[in-house]
Structure 1
Amino acid sequence: MVNKPAGVVSATSDDQHTTVMDLLPASQRQGLHLAGRLDFNSTGLVLLTNDGVWSRQLSQPQSQVRKHYRVTVEQPLTEAYVAAFSEGMWFAFEGIKTRPAEIKIRSAYEADVWLCEGRYHQIKRMFGRFDNKVLTLHRLAIGHLVLDESLAPGESRDLLPGEVADIAGLSSRG
């Protein structure tokens, strides 16, 4: 579990920027890959693993693993966002419609968003349909696993065995 700060690339290596891997001691990096990504300026929960099957289970939309984000935007939010997000949105760039997403408006400029997929800049593009720029995007949770609040940006910790098994309810699957 890594608390990714802004300005860090979700990649295993990059010639120009600090990567999520660079945040770990060199002795812990061997064989790890990212189980999902965050944009360069997005912050919050990123998972690293050496288990490809577990990683795919978390990232495939058919697994229905919800990701929880906190978003601040430039323009005030309205109830129109709730309906639009819950219906899914057509993205002509990929020729797809997003799966329904849930949004809870916390204040005029802040909302929580839950979704089960993570298309290219999806949340920013969904708010972009309203010409509303995303100012901050912070991932709070993946499945049942919530970002450890004791981790400062750039810090990490190992997952506990129960967290690994229960993140997506995988421990109850056959």
Structure 2
Amino acid sequence: MALTMEGEILLPADRATVWEKINDPEVLRACIPGCEMLEKTGDDAFKAAVKLKVGPVSATFKGAVTLTEIDAPNSYLISGEGEGGIAGFAKGGARVRLADAPEGGTTLAYTVEANVGGKIAQLGARMINSVAKKTADQFFANLAANIGGVVVEA
């Protein structure tokens, strides 16, 4: 089942600071909801384990993440895939773009395209989209708190 999501948020820091934060494994581990492990395995590669609950299905997804098309401090493409055992799999990517906001701070825009399969996909698009949106909102709230402010919908 395909999943798409996009959004834009205003973060209370300059672009260089936001870029540094979204490339720091320690910051990301603290900000990603359910993240149990995030380790750098190369210059632009990570391995991760994230525990998610979608309706009655709970699983730990383990997988690999890579960063490509890097244009520091403006944008990159993050791609990954993970296996959650009997719960299923997830594979996809997100384009992340940073820009100076006119009123100060940095605008972070993202576009996500992913595919999920297995038991988790059987729960339906509405439930999966709801969990994905909630997880993204929590990530950005955590990131804003780590930067020292509050996320504002752009």
* TM-score, structure 1 normalization: 0.30
Higher strand share: 2
Q: Which has the higher contact order (CA 8 A, sep 6+)?
A: 2
Higher helix share: 2
Q: Whose Rg is larger?
A: 1
* TM-score, structure 2 normalization: 0.33
